[in-house]
């Protein structure tokens, strides 16, 4: 089996690749499991060293739109499954409209058109976002988002992701792909350097203090957030590829499970793990631009479809932090982390 991951050198793309390599096989849409012979990682950046050293990994570097336009890129034709994770993130899209439209709308459309022209009908998993839901005075969100809640995005990023969902749904309806869109929750804790996502501080407020560094926490403690750990997020992405058509159900996107918490509760969990020295490093200066984006996102979900697929939320944010500490011991520099 040949798998393509766009955004494959990024944090989630690389983690997905490692997970699939460790499994060694994959059951696509309920079919019998098949060995994974090759994973092609498409990204602007080169893959991490451990992936580059694996003989089953092929790396294609460059702009995704350019790679889709290349006439002799055989890896698209050979793909049994495509995980489309490449995207410009929320803060970038709000600051640069053209970047978001090229990276999120145009690239997704071009990918679907490329697959349609090839006629290979791969399983395609599209990473959407909870940002397709947005609160506004004219159309307030319900207190709890359920599977049938109508998306009402309030940011360019959310709108572009919702367009991507609809494209995947229609290309699936026409039989060009076997598409499944999954709405990712706010993923925390992400290791590595901050990115341009408005949600980036949800990881930074834990990651940086654990490293003994100051971190921005620019929204009030009462701000609700729907959190999913990296492990739970990857579980949802893989399960989307494995589910039978009957298990998957409607073509609409799937809300992945989330832990409903608040910024204040996240800070309290950090203090339980790392003490007051960690929370003392939080800079609580407000950032109006970030708050304008984050305040529109929902904080509570009921995910019956995901539950029926066997997917579950993280038990607590303290457990999420402890998972991060266990997986990234070299990134923890603050003394006394329990």
DSSP 8-state class, residue 104:
I
> Do the strands 2-6 and 224-228 form a parallel or antiparallel pair, or are they unpaired?
unpaired
Calculate the CA dihedral of residues 266, 269, 271, 272 and round it to 10 degrees.
Answer: 180
What residues act catalytically? 157
Q: Is 85 exposed, middle or buried (0-12, 13-18, 19+ CB in 10 A)?
A: buried
Residue closest to 5 by CA, chosen among 17, 20, 15, 22? 17
Please answer whether residues 79 and 4 qualify as being in contact, where contact means their C-beta atoms are separated by less than 8 angstroms.
yes
DSSP letter string over 65-83?
A: HHHHH-TT-HHHHT-SEEE
Mapping DSSP to helix (H, G, I), strand (E, B) and coil, where does residue 56 land?
Answer: coil
Report the alpha-carbon distance of residue 228 to residue 39 in Å, rounded: 25
């Amino acid at each position: 089996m040949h798998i393509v991951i766009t955004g494959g050198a990024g944090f989630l793309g690389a983690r997905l690749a490692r997970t699939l390599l460790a499994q060694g096989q994959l059951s696509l849409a309920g079919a019998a499991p098949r060995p994974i012979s090759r994973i092609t990682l498409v990204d602007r950046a080169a893959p991490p060293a451990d992936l580059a050293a694996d003989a089953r990994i092929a790396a294609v570097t460059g702009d995704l739109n350019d790679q889709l336009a290349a006439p002799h890129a055989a890896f698209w034709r050979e793909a049994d499954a495509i995980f489309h994770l490449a995207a410009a993130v929320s803060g970038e899209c709000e600051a640069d409209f053209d970047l978001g439209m090229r990276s999120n709308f145009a690239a997704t459309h071009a990918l679907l058109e490329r697959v349609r022209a090839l006629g290979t009908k791969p399983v395609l998993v599209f990473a959407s976002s909870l940002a397709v839901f947005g609160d506004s005075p004219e159309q307030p969100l319900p207190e709890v988002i359920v599977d049938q809640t109508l998306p009402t995005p309030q940011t360019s990023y959310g709108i572009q992701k919702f367009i991507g969902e609809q494209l995947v749904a229609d290309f699936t309806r026409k039989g060009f792909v076997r598409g499944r869109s999954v709405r990712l929750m706010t993923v925390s804790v992400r290791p590595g350097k901050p990115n341009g996502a408005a949600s980036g501080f949800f990881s930074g407020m834990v990651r940086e203090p654990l490293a003994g560094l100051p971190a921005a926490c620019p929204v009030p403690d009462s701000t609700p957030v729907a959190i999913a750990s990296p492990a739970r997020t990857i579980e949802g992405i893989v399960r989307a590829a494995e589910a039978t058509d009957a298990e998957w159900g409607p073509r609409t996107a799937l809300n992945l499970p989330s832990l409903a918490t608040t910024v204040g509760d996240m800070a309290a969990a950090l203090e339980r793990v790392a003490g007051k020295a960690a929370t003392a490093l939080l800079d609580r200066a407000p950032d109006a631009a970030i708050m304008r984006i984050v305040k529109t996102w929902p904080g509570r979900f009921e995910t019956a479809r995901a539950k029926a697929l066997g997917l579950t939320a993280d038990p607590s944010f303290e457990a999420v932090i402890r998972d991060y500490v266990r997986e990234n011991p070299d990134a923890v520099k603050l003394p006394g982390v329990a």
